[in-house]
Each structure stands twice: as structure tokens, then as C-alpha cells.
């Protein structure tokens, strides 16, 4: 019989357990309770992660915080019906509108602590801030724990490319990246890919600002839409991951700024 594969966990510090995966998951220990950021797509994996974290920290996951509604971050919610599931009102709207098929033998579970713009979790003198910034999707939120010196950005950061959803707002995205680099953090957990340093995020921010500058100039020059991607590809990504902006997203951003600049 092949051995059952167990989810790999990495203990980043005494109170941080990190589960790298298709979408990264992290669990923060608050002594008597724990907080989980993202719950993943696969319910069996999520169940194992929960067991693993609860046994290591010897407490219960009381809070689950979601960065955005996409199923690779939220699909395993039914496993956490006994927890406070924290999400922005926009996330809940998107989640309900997505009308996903329930997981067999599980009830439909939605977030039960819903906030507008910002929310603060206070537990045993520890405060964790959840803020909806928009960016990758309008509901995109970050989770910041000063005590753990940890920031989780959801898909506003990935280590391959940046990709924006249908109603993605690049200006809000840039503001969020600027907020990230101002935090006093040691661990930046991104949506997909490796843990980042602030230097890395700064490199991505500089690249994104350069791309914005180029797109705005091309809008002013009335460069043809087809040529924009080619021009923007000439901007070299910075930092060790070489994170670039997906072609789809370049066009979305071009259209966004063109509309904002009221150029027909």
C-alpha cells in the first residue's frame, strides 16, 4: 500500500505554521486559539491541515480569514462551519453570485463575520488586521499580524505573474502594494508561490509603476491596443522571481486608465 501523502508544513516561527500549496495557507497561533488564513480548494487537504495545526498548537482554529472569493482559496469552507469565518461584504457577494456546486456530503457554508473595508480581530492582546484593498479582484484583502510580523496578501502577489480579474482596479492594486512595503513584517505570504521579502515586493511595485507609466504614455500617444502589449513587454520585471504582468491584465489596465483619462 502506498503511504498516504501528508501535506507539508513549514514552521516559520513558534507561532506560525505555513502550508505551501496550490494556494498557500498559513495558521497563526494565539495560545488558546488559532487563526487560519485561506482554506484552500481541496477539502481533504484542508482537513489534514486543520488536524496538523490544531495538534501542533494544541488548540482549536477559531478564525478563518479569506483574502478573496476565488475557489482555490475558499472551496473548503464547509469544513469550518464551527469557526468565525471572516470576509469582506464584497467577498460574500461574489461568493454567493458564483453559485458553486456544494461539495458532496457537506452543507453550504458562507462567511459569518462580514466586514466593510476593515476588520480587527483581538485575541489575547494580539491584534490582527484584515483590510479590503481591491487589486486582483475588488474583494481582495490582506491580513496583517504585527505580533507575528506576518502579512498575507492573497493573489495581489504571486511569484509568477500578476493577473487581474474582470473588475480589477490597478490603482487600488498599486496602493495596496505601497501599503505592503510600509509594514514591519518578516514573512510575506503570497497567494501562489514562495514567501517574499519586502525587497521583493518593492521590486514588483517599481516594475508595476513603470508599466503604468508606459501604458499612460501610450494612451497619450494614441498607440494601438495591439501594440501596447508588445511595448509593455519591453519593461523588464525586477527582483529574483521576475514577476510580470499577464497579457490579459495589461489590456485590462490599458482600458481602465483610458476610461479614467476619458480618452475615446
Is the CB of 155 or the CB of 200 nearer to Zn ion? 155
Number of residues that bind Zn ion (CB under 5 A): 5
Q: Write down the least CB distance from residue 196 to Zn ion, Å.
A: 15
Binding residue for Zn ion (CB under 5 A) from 72, 89, 171, 194? 72
Backbone angles phi, psi at 113, to 5 degrees: -125, 105
- How many whole angstroms separate alpha carbon 10 and alpha carbon 16? 8
- Residue 67's alpha-carbon distances to 18, 62, 92, 147, in angstroms, are 16, 17, 11, 19
Q: Please say whether the beta carbons of 21 and 45 come within 8 A.
A: yes
Q: Give the residue ranges of DSSP H helices in the chain.
A: 43-57, 71-74, 89-98, 170-182, 198-220, 225-233, 247-260
Pairing outcome for strands 141-145 and 126-132:
antiparallel
15 scored as a contact of Zn ion (CB under 5 A): no
Is the CB of 139 or the CB of 155 nearer to Zn ion? 155
Residues 6+ apart with CB under 8 A from 123: 30, 32, 33, 35, 62, 63
Is the CB of 15 or the CB of 139 nearer to Zn ion? 139
Q: Write down the least CB distance from residue 204 to Zn ion, Å.
A: 17
Pairing outcome for strands 33-37 and 60-65:
parallel
Q: Write down the least CB distance from residue 190 to Zn ion, Å.
A: 10
Is the CB of 57 or the CB of 69 nearer to Zn ion? 69
Only one of the segments 18-26, 176-184, 215-223, 249-257 lies at the binding site for Zn ion (rule: CB under 5 A); that segment is 18-26
Is the CB of 50 or the CB of 73 nearer to Zn ion? 73
Segment 177 to 206, residues that bind Zn ion, using CB under 5 A: 191
Segment 122 to 161, residues that bind Zn ion, using CB under 5 A: 155
Interface residues toward Zn ion, by CB under 5 A: 23, 70, 72, 155, 191
Amino acid at each position: 500500500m502506498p503511504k498516504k501523502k501528508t501535506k507539508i508544513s513549514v514552521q516559520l516561527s513558534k507561532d506560525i505554521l505555513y502550508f505551501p500549496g496550490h494556494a498557500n495557507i498559513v495558521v497563526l497561533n494565539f495560545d488558546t486559539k488559532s487563526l487560519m488564513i485561506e482554506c484552500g480548494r481541496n477539502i481533504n487537504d484542508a482537513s489534514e491541515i486543520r488536524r496538523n495545526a490544531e495538534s501542533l498548537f494544541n488548540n482549536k482554529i477559531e478564525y478563518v480569514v479569506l483574502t478573496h472569493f476565488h475557489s482555490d482559496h475558499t472551496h473548503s469552507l464547509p469544513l469550518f462551519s464551527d469557526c468565525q469565518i471572516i470576509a469582506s461584504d464584497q467577498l460574500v457577494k461574489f461568493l454567493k453570485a458564483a453559485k458553486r456546486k456544494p461539495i458532496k456530503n457537506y452543507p453550504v457554508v458562507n462567511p459569518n463575520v462580514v466586514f466593510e473595508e476593515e476588520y480587527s480581530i483581538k485575541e489575547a492582546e494580539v491584534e490582527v488586521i484584515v483590510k479590503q484593498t481591491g487589486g486582483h479582484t475588488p474583494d481582495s484583502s490582506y491580513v496583517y499580524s504585527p505580533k507575528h510580523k506576518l502579512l498575507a496578501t492573497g493573489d495581489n502577489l504571486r511569484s509568477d505573474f500578476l493577473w487581474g480579474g474582470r473588475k480589477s482596479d490597478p490603482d487600488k492594486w498599486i496602493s495596496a502594494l505601497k501599503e505592503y512595503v510600509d509594514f514591519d513584517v518578516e514573512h510575506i505570504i503570497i497567494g501562489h508561490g514562495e514567501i517574499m521579502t519586502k525587497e521583493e515586493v518593492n521590486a514588483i511595485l517599481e516594475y508595476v509603476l513603470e508599466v503604468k507609466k508606459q501604458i499612460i504614455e501610450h494612451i497619450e500617444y494614441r498607440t494601438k491596443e495591439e501594440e501596447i502589449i508588445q511595448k509593455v513587454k519591453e519593461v523588464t520585471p525586477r527582483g529574483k522571481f521576475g514577476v510580470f504582468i499577464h497579457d490579459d491584465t495589461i489590456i485590462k489596465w490599458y482600458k481602465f486608465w483610458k476610461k479614467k483619462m476619458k480618452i475615446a
